[in-house]
Amino acid sequence: MNIQLMKSDRHLELDGISRRFGNVQALDDVSLAVERGTVVCLVGHSGCGKSSLLRVIAGIEWPDHGRVLLDGREVSGAASHVEPENRNIGFMFQDYALFPHLSVTDNILFGLKRLGRRVARERCDEIIERLGLGHLAKRFPHMLSGGEQQRVALARALAPQPGIMLMDEPFSNLDRELRHVIRSETIDLLRELGTTVIMVTHDPEEALSAGDVVVLMRAGRIVQSGAGAELYERPSCPYAAEFFCSFNKVRTACRSGYAETPFGRFAAPGFADGEQATVYIRPQCLRVNCEGDGVECTVVDCELIGEIEQTSITVAALAEPLRVRSTDRSRLRKGDTARVSVAPEQVLIF
């Protein structure tokens, strides 16, 4: 799958990239074009190929087939391979990979060895000031918190002023609240600098919130790519739908272009009469109340999950319970009878 861009806008192009490790096909004919200054999130379950793709872009791995182009120049291909240090690419690892025996300043200077001493020191001082690391400059990694280590790793990767920043699960070692804050600060800074970012994550929420473009991978291939809202609202297949949201699934048959369910008929264009389909209903798109329209249901369980109340219900015509999620407090209890309805515009059919 390709993201089509004007040639002059392309900072990075992947053309039919394949990579095999023994019997494992890590990457299988991956093509992607990335616009300059774009934040791209590679997302998918473990083993889908996203980290392997990052390493191919960096030049750490060679593709078996296909080409990598930077600003239209081939840097990996059948007849060429530009070494990682000559690609003007920064790489930020999941574990930060800071040298334990070096201070913060010396960790940052390590990535500037190719510059003269004076220029390297100026560049180091500039990035330390930019990221507010002055009070940590003489400390060693073991003296830093997780968030501080992350910022130092970012400073070291940014100091050489790379055109592209590759980030492999850069926030996964932080607790939830700190992760949100550090991620926002980091992405804002990279956008301000105009840096093209390719970030690997396994977290659907992180991908949707951080990426201008989200690339969902599975078994070494791109399943779907585009804006986060597009992947969430218009997934191309069941895998894409279920990766970004949990669903209630109702098996049914189609008649006259509609899927018939206990909740009514939903448009199912392209399905033949009698063809089996699965209706995907997000838990937050079900409404449960004691009165009004809808189908009669029985409450099986009701639990509070932070801001969300999750209610499990049964409907006579369905074999499996349904999950309902809402920020409202229904005050329903196990055994209560209520009525449930569906917001039809939120239903997906596969």
Q: What are the pLDDT digits (tens) for 233-262?
A: 999 999 999 999 999 999 998 988 889 898
Cβ–Cβ < 8 Å for 216, 202: no
Residue 228 has pLDDT above 50, yes or no: yes
Is the per-residue pLDDT at 64 higher than 80?
Answer: yes
| Assigned architecture for domain 247-349 | Beta Barrel (2.40)
Distance CA 128, CA 137 (A): 8
Domain ranges of the chain: 7-243, 247-349
Measured CA distances, 184 to 74, 167, 179, 190, 211 (Å) = 33, 14, 8, 10, 11
Report the pLDDT value the prediction gives residue 173, as an integer from 0 to 100.
82
Which amino acid, 33?
A: A
**Side-chain half-sphere CA neighbours of 11 within 13 A:** 20
**Residue 69 is encoded by which pair of tokens?**
């182009």
Q: What is the pLDDT at residue 111?
A: 82
Using CB atoms within 10 Å of the CB of residue 78, give its burial: 0 to 12 exposed, 13 to 18 middle, 19+ buried: exposed
The widest CA-to-CA distance across the chain, in whole angstroms, is: 77
The domain made up of 7-243 has a fold known as Rossmann fold (3.40.50)
> How many other C-beta atoms lie within 10 A of the C-beta of residue 228?
20
N-terminal to C-terminal alpha carbon distance within the chain: 20
Q: Token match 């994550």: residue?
A: 201
Q: pLDDT (tens digit, 9 = 90+) per residue, 88-118?
A: 999 988 888 899 999 999 999 988 888 888 9
Q: Which residues of 248-273 are buried (b: 16+ CB within 10 A; e: fewer)?
A: bbbebebeeebbbbebeebebeebee
